[in-house]
Structure 1
């Protein structure tokens, strides 16, 4: 009998797993004994019927009784109750607990000593003009600055200072009449070129050391030139140099 569900007296679930008889098919050699069993049951002679059943090979595995069916029903009922009253609420509670932890992975803004922080809260904190992100690794803290590694763990690290970039001036399509100086940028033959040394009437090319390729462009899609492109189709866009 189930302890959790005492009204279901044919099942032991969920305290233990129920066992069931594996049923077998009746074969031709069982016919005589089966007829005797049926006649005894029709007469209401249960003792005679059970005797006939015991004489049948694996008789208990071939006759489906009400007790066997009711045990299945009780087991199914116990399983459904256990699922709805124990498993579903348990999973819901786990999901709630997990969501609570996930929600703590939140950016709480600039660190403040007056704010209480919880595990997985994220703050920004500035040290010597550099701003870093820190995540709280303790259960709860207040008035503990992010520099305390027992409570906070740094998210970001400042790398080495890169080289200073030089601004380039885009002068549209290359023109043989224009005097170019270093850092001038032009479009020519499907590429953007940067001027390396001063020049005039020296067309950009891979063999011309006065120019260096900056990037590939798609002149057939968005050409930049003074005259209407010859291969333009209806709806295409081009930028006219004026």
Structure 2
């Protein structure tokens, strides 16, 4: 599809990307309820997208599937985990776009999730203010995981849970740093989310970026 036509088809979409634990899902739901929008959560469709992608289309995903839990989260460095994680490489992003194109165009939708990478979303925007990336500090991310009770979900399934948790948190920090660099370089909106940032404040800041208030 012609890039201009694709942007026009997706002009009703607001995009919230960012690092894990940054509040993407919470803010998307709050703004959707307040402004009569729907939500497309990319996390919810990950299993289906992973099933649909072939090894040729998603080589990093294929390698990831072949690893056991220790190979994924214990024995590799956080930097290696960052560079080879399939969703961070944009594998399957085309399926996200296809899903959004199938939604009714008459109602605005907020697409949210860490898979929404700046370099992939940017060319789809009719206006940079239709997207924002939430950048949680390490302290905010750890507090968010602890409050949800999910911090140990993956690590406890490995042979070295403490090492796995360290690797995961460090990988997520590196990913968030990368998002900060990319949004800055591309001139796309980003919001740092640190300790003391409340949901009301964050929702208001994102709404202002989107021009919803």
Asked if TM exceeds 0.5, the reply is no
Q: Which structure shows the bigger proportion of residues in strand conformation?
A: 1
Q: Which structure shows the bigger proportion of residues in helix conformation?
A: 2
User: Under a length normalisation based on structure 1, what TM-score does the superposition of the two structures give?
Assistant: 0.16
User: Under a length normalisation based on structure 2, what TM-score does the superposition of the two structures give?
Assistant: 0.18
Structure of greater Rg:
1
Higher RCO by CA contacts (8 Å cutoff, separation 6 or greater): 2
